[in-house]
Amino acid sequence: MELTDRVAVVTGASRGIGFAVAHALGREGCRLAICSRTRDELEGAAERLAGSGSEVLAMPADVAVEEDVERLAQRVREEMGGADILVNNAGITRFGAIDELTARDLDEVLATNVRGPFLCARAFLPGMLEREDGVIVNIASLAGKNFFAGGAAYVASKHALVGLSKSMMLDLRSRGVRVLTVLPGSVDTAFFDTQDRFDPDRDRILRPETVAEAVVEAVRLSDRGTVSEIEVRPVNP
């Protein structure tokens, strides 16, 4: 796919992987629509992206709320002509042993990490299907294939997202829409600033920009082929 002037929607784009992906797509000439639940961080991200020369539409939205997603999709249609690329990046976690987690913890994680990508795909697909052209990137995690103590809610959500994404790929591949599942290992983001259950060597784990580079390379692949899954791991974990 030629990326110049393509419209790319990136959720959870105020920081971390989402911001890095938006920045990388903007450098390739994409017009950007970004969302996040945190208005102040979103506005700061939009300013930085615009300062790099990108056209940016920024709208606060919670991807777990259907009305928010529909409003975002409507604005993208009205102001940018619809989405060519959707990057489902927004995600949250609640860590804790099974006897420490609450039902609310599980509901919130599944709502953002699984319901969110489902709602966004549903909202932006009509235009892609009409044009028989589009790419959906679902940012999962290697936790979508692995397991670890204290990760019940997060691991369950990422396994579910991988299943959703792979089924979506099979639903849409013959209709002109490519679906890519990206599974990063540990990434050096603000995530590790707010919890002490895990303490990786942050000089050795992945950078958000590395994940973004993989996304861009897969998205711009010739339309005659598709990459359905990418695992991105640190070289020296």
Q: Please check the confidence at residue 229 and state whether its pLDDT lies above 90.
A: yes
How confident is the prediction for the chain on average, in pLDDT? 94
Q: How far is residue 219's CA from residue 25's CA, in Å, rounded to a whole number?
A: 10
Strand ranges across the sheet with 56-60:
56-60, 31-36, 7-11, 85-88, 134-139, 177-184, 229-232
On whether the CB atoms of residues 81 and 32 are closer than 8 A, the answer is: no
Question: What tokens does 158 get?
Answer: 């990422």
Coil/strand/helix, residue 152? helix
Per-residue pLDDT tens digits for 127-154: 999 999 999 999 999 999 999 999 999 9
Residues 72-76, mean pLDDT to the nearest whole number: 99
Q: Say which of 154, 158, 165, 186 is annotated catalytic.
A: 154
Residue with tokens 């020369």: 53
For residues 128 and 109, what is the distance between their CA atoms, to the nearest angstrom? 28
Q: Which residues lie below 8 Å from residue 188, measured CB to CB, with a gap of 6+?
A: 202, 205, 206, 207, 208
- Specify the higher pLDDT residue, 223 or 15: 15
Would you give the distance in Å from CA 162 to the centre of its chain? 12
pLDDT at 235: 80
CB burial readout 63-90, b (16+ within 10 A) else e:
bbbeebbebbbeebbeebebbbbbbbbb
Question: What is the pLDDT, as a whole number, of residue 192?
Answer: 53
Q: Give residue for tokens 């259907």.
A: 66
Do residues 63 and 124 touch, judged by C-beta distance below 8 A?
Answer: no
Return the closest-CA partner of residue 124 out of 172, 54, 162. 172
Rounded CA-CA distance 226/177 in Å is 10
Q: Which of 51-55, 166-170, 172-176, 222-226 has the lowest mean pLDDT?
A: 222-226
Three-state secondary structure call for residue 230: strand
Q: What is the token pair recorded at 203? A: 């000089």
Enumerate the β-bridge partners of residue 114.
none
Question: Residue 70 catalytic?
Answer: no
Alpha-helix residue ranges (DSSP H) falling in the chain = 16-27, 39-51, 66-80, 103-110, 116-131, 152-172, 208-219
